[in-house]
Structure 1
Amino acid sequence: MVATSLLLACLASVASTVSSLSIVDRSAAATAFFNPVDGGGSWLNNAGGGGGEPLNVVISGLSSPDVLTDDGVLNFARSIGFSTECFGIHLGDPQSANLGDGHGFVNQTVELRQDFGNADVGTCLESLIGGNHFRVYRQNGPSANSGALFLAVSQEENVNEGHTISPDGYDVGRDALAAAATGKTSFGGVNYSTEVQRLENEMPAGANGVNHGIAVDGAVVLLTVTIE
């Protein structure tokens, strides 16, 4: 009788443990990122006018923590050829994104532009002749707190073309940023090592809902950035 009671107690303990393990707290899990769609978000931001720009690069939440801060992502961006806008002047309204983390639509944290080798004034050249640029969004809401940074990257035309996105500019911009980030980079005395992974079919391919009707191939680039 005692043995039976002990067995039943053990089984109850095991069942309780299994039950608790099946409940995963997405806000506390260490992960590269959470799929925005799973939380009611989207891989497209809200660019206004009914269209959205693809969130086609993710800086993994498993990157070095200092990379994922506002100052940290700016320094990393400068190590791969991007910087703040020309004299801090931004034209146009900020764009928002819903990363499925419980915050709903949140405006971009920052917008950074290709600096052509000069982190101080090089983005002024980008504003004139066009180039690569990206917007940053942080996934840190109560229901999906990965800390990952989602980037909307695109190649744009020169000022005479109104900075419109280049043909195939979303995929082209993504791939150019990935190429610049691959391997070892440095800026301001900080050394980075970046692993690049291409996630095929992570977002819907095609032009449906995409700003300017520019089709995308559906791939997302995942960057895991480690400070050495």
Structure 2
Amino acid sequence: MTTTNDGAQRQPLSRERVLRTAVALADEAGLEAISMRKLAQALGVVPMALYKHVANKEELLDGMVDAVVSEIDPPREGADWKAAVRRRILSARAVMLRHPWARRVMEAQAAPTPIVLAYTDSMIRTFLAGGISADLVHHVMHALGSRVFGFTQELHETSPTAPADLTPEQAQYMMATFPGIVAVATSRAHDPGSVVGPGCDDQFEFEFGIDLMLDGVERLHRRGWRSSDHDREAAPVL
């Protein structure tokens, strides 16, 4: 322990404490609140003291992402691959919802850190341990994309609007012109706070997408799918 001028004891500064405090600060006030000066104030130290533990703000942000990714449930030995992948992705989603700023940092990273790579590697090994071929896993990881980390990268601005959000005239036009969209948009109760699309249930859509993908992986695995088969099927007939 170190001692302040008034004799009170405080925790010694460490990289773990710096990162834990930075994560808490971002959770409370957003990513915009993260600067070396503000972090030093939160820790009760001078800014120069931080540079013994993080070289710069970029390293700080990488470390914060590592701290967040480390909260995701570890893999379970011997678990069914499909259930194990689903459980970990949903754990990752819960972590990202606790730390919503982390997604922005991950998307802006020039390269993944070793901890992020280790998480990705552990997910791949879960598929491989389930007997899924490396060839198929290669394509599965592309299909899952950022869902592996509990979020999706989507363009929400172009999502169709539910008739309930429209004027009577607009709703009538939608029903006459786009009956398919209207049928889908009105097929179930909606969450007005959704980010997937106006009125959609975020959690339901997220889990549905995962289940759909994993069911497809299982089906291809049972069929003995290989990418070379796809290449032959797609080749033009001369």
TM over 0.5: no
TM-score (norm 1): 0.23
Q: Which has the larger radius of gyration?
A: 2
Considering fraction of residues, name the structure with more strand.
Answer: 1
TM-score (norm 2): 0.23
Considering fraction of residues, name the structure with more helix.
Answer: 2
Q: Which has the higher contact order (CA 8 A, sep 6+)?
A: 1
